[in-house]
């Protein structure tokens, strides 16, 4: 996670080994890499010597994606709802921002707990433990710097910077407090023989916990001695700055300088010389440089004692004044450590430094390097922009810059989640609040969610509907039509086609039903056709299919009059697919030839009309096709059962019509008295 | 005990849960275990126990779920039904599994007793998703994308009956209403009943659920029947409405209630208090429906049945007036996928925001 370390990824490829590599970013998460020999303007345009020597491979290299880990995913989903609340909240007060910040932090802490539990559960040698330990480091530093930002930037009500810094230091370096608590609970009279007694007392003083330090001093076996009594008196009378307190800054300063001058003179006159540890403490309080240098030597990181130093030297410092103090402290700290200071700082130390110097550009830059898939930078930036605390530069108006930064970060994060398996629904929420680009990307990415079955399709559709993306719903339906067709599941195909409301798709599937009927004389999926209902009007072909199915139902239930009426209506409806003419007219034969006359003369004329003007041309056209093209083109036409004997069909029909017409005319023209 | 305080606890579980079911205890206490089935990239069924929250500051610490053990399954979990406190059945991928909960304290794991793979297939031989499971005594029924009904026996662990062409479109919901009668619902919005004993391979009756706009597709999403009057069938729909049928008069719907704005995901009657129903929807709402019993006071005192109670679900237009609706959860924005209620007063529900909600004292 440290920023300057290179991440080496070895591409195992024969060709690349010989000639070299080149790569390109596909997205900002994905790099495509392949073997490549550098070509210059001077190189000759001929195949290289590596051409055709080994196979050419293209590799995709992407950053490891950590957020779908079972533990971190909880953080992703929890933070997404905090994020959403932040975007949609109506009443945006500073308390609300503070509350939001705390919610984020509590989510991080919960994750840290879960990570520690996971480490305990795992076998200590497994890779998972290493992975989780790495996560603990990452999220610990995130929490640590978020906490810092919270009271320095987000909590606008806080005016007292130094006490907050002390609290923060106490939280992240808890050992003095813990040790003290243990000693105080046990009330050991001879605590001073313990090896960590003075370390603890000093630690408390360095964190400004004067009262607890005093309580510990009282436990010391020689607490009744003069020196200890004096120390107790001095510590008790120490003036403490409080921004809410009664003292004005001027008054406090004069009190402090009086008090500390007295203390220094006491130290100088050797009043504390009998107890060197106590003397050290007093020197620390007076801000004695040499003693602080000594302390710094044992410190773990540069900011461990920084807050304490401020407490005794500049207790009223404001956030914007910290820059200078930080610099002088840091050089002091670095010289005590004997190193050159800045260069050896780890990532977290640099982040803390950037925040304390109020160098937000540097801070945002450094937190982007954390291997948390940008979780931290996205959420913190968003929150800081919301409460208007992000200053990227001190010159001019940087609002647009900051807004663009936030939008970009959220866009990238949302797009990344949407491309990562089942996190897509969470990604949608982020894109919704990024930019207008994000809204567009949301639609495009939603279409790309892989759909393997009905359940997944239904899920995506439900989300699309909730976001009012009707076009996506249609697209998914079309995909499902294709899937069902390829699975020969025509019932589902028709159902999905109806949902897509796409005439082309509905027609295509309805044709399958009609072809099947022409081929076998059997209707597919009768239960489905019976319940299409008003939805049949989506497509003329579907309307025809359903009506034709109705005709069949009438016919098979011997409701011949209705069947005949429907048939004639269908013939006149102009929605008959051309290939269906033979079938449909053939259906008229049993009705025409029925014992009882069913079709009156007028309707018989209609049948005859369609016979001559539709069926005959159709048959002729097909004959022509057969002559011209021998094999290729006959797919749908060949399916027809009746197709083999077109002339017989015409013959039969003409006869049937003639016979029925004569019957009908006789009946119609007979006057009954 | 303050019964009136509704306690809601949410836990983020790091996966999308599609079904939750309580494992009832043998005693009359609130169940302290439940099962969850996921619909994610890799899927599993997890057994959760409710434990006291060690981080809670409150005196009466709340219960939080902790996953104790899991069993991985092929494909999304689409159905989960608990047989008894030691056994459950799960439908996932293209088949059904019978799973045994090993309560041995040492091991405490789940063991798959029997798996029926590839119960559902398309004509091309590709496997189809098993979309649901129903349970009645010894019979387990599975439905799928291929429109087939398969009935399995728990004791013999064999396939006992099959209806190959039960439906032409994907079946989405199934419930047994008696040992021989089965109701299924499909994507087209049709519910069908099947009689398993008669050997009939076709539906004995079909009922269409109603829809606000006839030209819109409105699939059945879930089916529930009244716990004590099992002829009352409720069908939840994609548009968010509930259609009620009285199986004694199946030719027309008894009531039609427009409810949620988005698809209903589950309808769950309280097992011991049949006047209460819970409904969940894809826009992150959970509602509680409480029914007022209407007593029709007979005009004629000499009537044979002096006091007849009419179930308000069957009240047609007036049904909604006789049912009180209150919101239990709302504003979750993501689909609440499943809900289950205990015999007492505990609810568990799963949401696509990857959280599980435990709700106490909701009645």
B227-253 pLDDT per residue, tens: 988 899 999 999 999 999 999 888 889
* Centroid of chain to Cα A192: 55
| A469 falls within a domain | no
Specify whether the CB–CB gap between B82 and B88 falls below 8 A. Answer: yes
More confident residue, A323 or B286: B286
- Cα-flanking dihedrals φ and ψ of residue B245, to 5°? -120, 145
Return the pLDDT at B61. Answer: 63
Cα distance between residue B31 and residue B85, in whole Å: 10
Q: Let me know whether A141 and A193 are in one domain.
A: no
* Cβ within 8 Å of B, A 506-535: 524-525, 527-528, 531, 533-535
HSE toward the beta carbon, residue B148, CA cutoff 13 A = 20
Return the pLDDT at A275. Answer: 81
| A539 falls within a domain | no
Cα distance between residue B199 and residue B137, in whole Å: 19
* Centroid of chain to Cα B60: 32
Return the pLDDT at A643. Answer: 56
For B266-280, the DSSP string reads EEEE-SS-TTEEEEE
Query: Any residues with CB less than 8 A from the CB of A449 and at least 6 apart, and which?
Result: A418, A424, A456, A460
The number of beta carbons lying within 10 Å of the beta carbon of residue B230 is 14
| A645 falls within a domain | yes
Contact A495 B146 (CB under 8 A): no
Angle at the Cα of A102 from the Cα atoms of A96 and A104, rounded to 5 degrees: 105
Q: Let me know whether A203 and A268 are in one domain.
A: yes
More confident residue, A152 or A241: A152
> What is the span of the domain harbouring residue A42?
14-62
Kind and range of the H or E run holding A262:
helix A249-268
Domain count within chain A: 4
Specify whether the CB–CB gap between B101 and B34 falls below 8 A. Answer: no
Contact B214 A535 (CB under 8 A): yes
Cα distance between residue B157 and residue B135, in whole Å: 14
Between strands B241-246 and B255-258, the pairing is antiparallel
Which residues does residue B289 pair with via DSSP β-bridges, in sequence order? Answer: B277, B325
Specify whether the CB–CB gap between A457 and A446 falls below 8 A. Answer: no
Of the ranges A126-130, A515-519, B323-327, which one carries the lowest mean pLDDT score?
A126-130
Express as a percent the part of chain A with pLDDT over 90: 18
Q: Would you place residue B260 in the very low, low, confident or very high pLDDT band (cuts 50, 70, 90)?
A: very high
The distance of A509 to chain B (nearest Cα, Å) reads 14
| A533 falls within a domain | no
Specify whether the CB–CB gap between A155 and A95 falls below 8 A. Answer: no
| A301 falls within a domain | no
pLDDT in tens, A78-125: 999 999 999 988 888 888 999 999 999 999 999 999 899 888 887 767
What kind of architecture, by CATH, is found in domain B213-363? 7 Propeller (2.130)
The end-to-end CA distance of chain A, in Å, is 108
Cα distance between residue A138 and residue A131, in whole Å: 11
Return the pLDDT at A636. Answer: 46
Q: What is the dihedral of CA B190, B196, B199, B204, to 10 degrees?
A: -30
Which residues does residue B161 pair with via DSSP β-bridges, in sequence order? Answer: B151
Which pair of tokens denotes residue A659?
A: 């016979």
Which pair of tokens denotes residue A358?
A: 């109020």
Return the pLDDT at A112. Answer: 93
Tell whether A499 lies on the interface with B, counting CB pairs under 8 A.
Answer: yes
Specify whether the CB–CB gap between B239 and B191 falls below 8 A. Answer: no
Q: Which pairs from A227-231 meet CB under 8 Å and 24+ separation?
A: A227/A271, A227/A272, A227/A274, A227/A275, A227/A278, A228/A275, A228/A278, A230/A266, A230/A271, A230/A272, A231/A272, A231/A275, A231/A278, A231/A281, A231/A282
Average pLDDT over residues A342-352: 79
Return the pLDDT at A11. Answer: 76
Contact B41 A421 (CB under 8 A): yes
- Cα-flanking dihedrals φ and ψ of residue A108, to 5°? -65, -45
Average pLDDT over residues A2-12: 62
Q: Is the pLDDT of residue A237 over 60?
A: yes
Q: Is the pLDDT of residue B2 over 50?
A: no
- Cα-flanking dihedrals φ and ψ of residue A272, to 5°? -100, 5
The distance of B257 to chain A (nearest Cα, Å) reads 21
The number of beta carbons lying within 10 Å of the beta carbon of residue B290 is 14
Return the pLDDT at B38. Answer: 93
Tell whether B78 lies on the interface with A, counting CB pairs under 8 A.
Answer: yes
Specify whether the CB–CB gap between A630 and A581 falls below 8 A. Answer: no
Domain spans in chain B, listed from the N-terminal domain onward = 213-363
Q: How many residues can be counted in chain A?
A: 673
Q: Is the pLDDT of residue A651 over 90?
A: no
Contact A74 B147 (CB under 8 A): no
Contact B334 A456 (CB under 8 A): no
Q: Would you place residue B60 in the very low, low, confident or very high pLDDT band (cuts 50, 70, 90)?
A: low
Cα distance between residue A528 and residue A122, in whole Å: 54
| A233 falls within a domain | yes
Specify whether the CB–CB gap between B100 and B82 falls below 8 A. Answer: no
Q: Is the pLDDT of residue A354 over 60?
A: yes
Cα distance between residue B160 and residue B226, in whole Å: 27
Contact B283 A466 (CB under 8 A): yes
Specify whether the CB–CB gap between B210 and B256 falls below 8 A. Answer: yes
Cα distance between residue B188 and residue A372, in whole Å: 45
Collect all residues of chain B within an 8 Å Cβ-Cβ radius of residue A115. none
More confident residue, B4 or B224: B224
Specify whether the CB–CB gap between B96 and B87 falls below 8 A. Answer: no
Number of Cβ pairs closer than 8 Å across A and B? 120
Contact B40 A422 (CB under 8 A): yes
Short-list A347, A392, A416, CA closest to A142 = A347
Q: Let me know whether A173 and A278 are in one domain.
A: yes
Q: What is the largest CA-CA distance in chain B?
A: 67
Angle at the Cα of A440 from the Cα atoms of A438 and A443, rounded to 5 degrees: 110
Return the pLDDT at B308. Answer: 45
Average pLDDT over residues B197-211: 85
Query: Any residues with CB less than 8 A from the CB of A469 and at least 6 apart, and which?
Result: A442, A443, A446
Q: Is the pLDDT of residue A605 over 70?
A: yes
- Measure Cα distances from A36 to A18, A24, A50, A55 in Å: 9, 12, 10, 13
Kind and range of the H or E run holding A326:
helix A322-337
Specify whether the CB–CB gap between B328 and B362 falls below 8 A. Answer: yes
Which pair of tokens denotes residue A658?
A: 């003639």
Specify whether the CB–CB gap between A176 and A299 falls below 8 A. Answer: no
How does DSSP classify residue B209? P
**Which of B12, B131, B215 is nearest residue A534 as measured by Cβ atoms?**
B215
Contact A77 B214 (CB under 8 A): no
The distance of B123 to chain A (nearest Cα, Å) reads 6
Query: Any residues with CB less than 8 A from the CB of B167 and at least 6 apart, and which?
Result: A491, A527, B143, B147, B184, B186, B192
Kind and range of the H or E run holding A509:
helix A503-520
Last residue of a domain, one of A247, A274, A294: A294
Cα distance between residue A617 and residue A642, in whole Å: 16
Q: What is the mean pLDDT of chain A?
A: 84
Last residue of a domain, one of A237, A262, A294: A294
């Amino acid at each position: 996670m440290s920023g300057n370390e290179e991440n080496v990824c070895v591409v195992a490829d024969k060709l690349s080994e010989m000639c070299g590599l080149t790569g390109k970013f596909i997205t900002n998460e994905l790099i495509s890499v392949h073997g490549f020999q550098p070509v210059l303007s001077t190189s000759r345009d001929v195949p290289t010597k590596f051409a055709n020597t080994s196979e050419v491979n293209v590799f995709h290299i992407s950053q490891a994606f950590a957020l779908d880990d079972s533990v971190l995913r909880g953080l992703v989903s929890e933070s997404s709802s905090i994020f959403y609340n932040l975007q949609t909240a109506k009443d945006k007060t500073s308390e609300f921002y503070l509350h939001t910040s705390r919610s984020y932090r509590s989510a991080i802490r919960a994750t840290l707990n879960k990570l520690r539990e996971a480490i305990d559960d795992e076998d200590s040698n497994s890779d998972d433990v290493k992975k989780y330990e790495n996560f603990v480091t990452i999220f610990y530093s995130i929490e640590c710097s978020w906490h810092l930002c919270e009271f320095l930037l987000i909590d606008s009500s806080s005016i007292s910077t130094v006490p907050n810094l002390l609290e923060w230091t106490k939280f992240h370096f808890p050992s003095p407090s813990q040790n003290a608590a243990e000693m105080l609970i046990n009330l050991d009279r001879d605590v001073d023989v313990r090896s960590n007694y003075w370390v603890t007392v000093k630690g408390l003083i360095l964190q400004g916990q004067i009262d607890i330090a005093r309580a510990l001093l009282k436990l010391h076996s020689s607490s009744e001695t003069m020196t200890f009594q004096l120390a107790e008196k001095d510590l008790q009378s120490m003036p403490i700055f409080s921004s809410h307190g009664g003292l004005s800054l001027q008054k406090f300063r004069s009190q402090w300088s009086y008090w500390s001058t007295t203390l220094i003179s006491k130290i100088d006159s050797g009043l504390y010389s009998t107890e060197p540890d106590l003397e050290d403490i007093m020197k620390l309080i007076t801000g004695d440089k040499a003693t602080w240098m000594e302390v710094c030597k044992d410190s773990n990181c540069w900011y461990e004692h920084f807050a304490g130093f401020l407490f005794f030297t500049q207790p009223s410092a404001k956030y914007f004044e910290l820059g200078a103090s930080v610099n002088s402290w840091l050089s002091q700290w670095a010289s005590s450590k004997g190193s050159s200071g800045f260069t050896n700082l780890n990532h977290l130390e640099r982040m803390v430094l950037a925040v304390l110097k109020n160098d937000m550009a540097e801070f945002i830059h450094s937190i982007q390097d954390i291997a948390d898939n940008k979780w931290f930078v996205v959420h913190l930036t968003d929150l800081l922009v919301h409460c208007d605390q992000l200053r990227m530069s001190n010159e001019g108006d940087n609002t647009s810059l900051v807004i663009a930064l936030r939008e970009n970060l959220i866009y990238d994060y949302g797009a990344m989640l949407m491309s990562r398996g089942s996190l897509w629904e969470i990604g949608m929420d982020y894109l919704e609040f990024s930019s207008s680009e994000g809204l567009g990307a949301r639609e495009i990415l939603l279409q790309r969610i892989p759909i393997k079955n009905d359940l997944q399709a239904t899920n995506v559709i439900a989300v699309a509907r909730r976001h009012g993306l009707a076009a996506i719903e249609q697209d998914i339906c079309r995909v499902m039509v294709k899937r069902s067709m390829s699975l020969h599941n025509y019932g589902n195909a028709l159902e999905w086609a109806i949902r897509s409301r796409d005439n082309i798709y509905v027609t295509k599937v309805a044709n399958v039903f009609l072809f099947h009927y022409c081929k076998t004389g059997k209707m597919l999926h009768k239960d489905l056709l019976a319940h299409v209902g008003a939805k049949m009007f989506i497509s003329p072909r579907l309307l025809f299919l359903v009506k034709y199915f109705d005709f069949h139902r009438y016919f098979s239930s011997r409701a011949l009059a209705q069947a005949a009426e429907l048939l004639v209506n269908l013939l006149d409806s102009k929605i008959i697919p051309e290939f269906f003419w033979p079938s449909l007219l053939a259906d008229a034969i049993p009705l025409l030839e029925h014992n009882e006359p069913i079709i009156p003369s007028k309707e018989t004329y209609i049948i005859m009309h369609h016979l001559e003007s539709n069926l005959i041309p159709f048959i002729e056209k097909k004959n022509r096709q057969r002559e011209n093209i021998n094999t290729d083109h006959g797919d749908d036409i060949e399916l027809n059962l009746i197709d083999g004997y077109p002339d017989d069909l015409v013959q039969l029909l003409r006869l049937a019509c003639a016979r029925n017409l004569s019957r009908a005319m006789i009946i119609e023209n007979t006057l009954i008295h | 005990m303050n019964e009136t305080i509704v306690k809601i606890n949410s836990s983020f579980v790091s996966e999308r849960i599609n079904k939750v079911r309580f494992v009832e205890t043998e005693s009359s206490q609130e169940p302290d275990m439940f099962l969850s089935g996921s619909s994610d990239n890799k899927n599993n069924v997890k057994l959760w126990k409710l434990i006291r929250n060690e981080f809670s500051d409150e005196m009466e610490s709340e219960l939080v779920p902790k996953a104790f053990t899991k069993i991985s399954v092929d494909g999304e979990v689409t159905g989960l039904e608990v047989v008894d406190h030691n056994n459950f059945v799960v439908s996932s991928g293209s088949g059904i599994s019978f799973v045994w909960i090993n309560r041995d304290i040492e091991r405490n794991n789940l063991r798959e007793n029997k798996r029926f793979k590839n119960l559902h297939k398309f004509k091309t031989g590709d496997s189809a998703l098993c979309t649901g499971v129903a349970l009645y005594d010894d019979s387990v029924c599975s439905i799928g994308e291929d429109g087939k009904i398969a009935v399995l026996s728990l004791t013999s662990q064999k396939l006992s009956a099959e209806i190959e062409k039960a439906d032409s479109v994907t079946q989405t919901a199934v419930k047994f209403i008696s040992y021989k009668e089965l109701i299924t619902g499909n994507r087209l919005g049709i519910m069908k009943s099947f009689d398993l004993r008669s050997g009939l391979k076709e539906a004995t009756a079909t009922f269409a659920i109603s829809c606000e706009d006839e030209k819109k597709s409105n699939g059945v999403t879930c089916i529930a029947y009244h716990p004590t009057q099992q002829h009352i069938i409720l069908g939840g729909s994609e548009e968010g409405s509930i259609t009620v049928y009285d199986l004694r008069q199946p030719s027309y719907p008894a009531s039609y209630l427009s409810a949620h704005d988005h698809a209903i995901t589950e309808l769950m009657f309280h097992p011991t208090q049949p006047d209460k129903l819970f409904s969940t929807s894809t826009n992150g709402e959970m509602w509680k429906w409480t029914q007022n019993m209407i007593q029709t006071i007979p005009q004629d005192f000499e009537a044979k049945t002096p006091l007849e109670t009419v179930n308000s679900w069957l009240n047609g237009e007036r049904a909604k007036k006789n049912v009180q609706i209150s919101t239990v959860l709302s504003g979750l924005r993501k689909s609440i996928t499943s809900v289950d209620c205990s015999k007492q007063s505990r609810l568990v529900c799963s949401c696509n925001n990857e959280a599980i909600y435990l709700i106490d004292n909701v009645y």
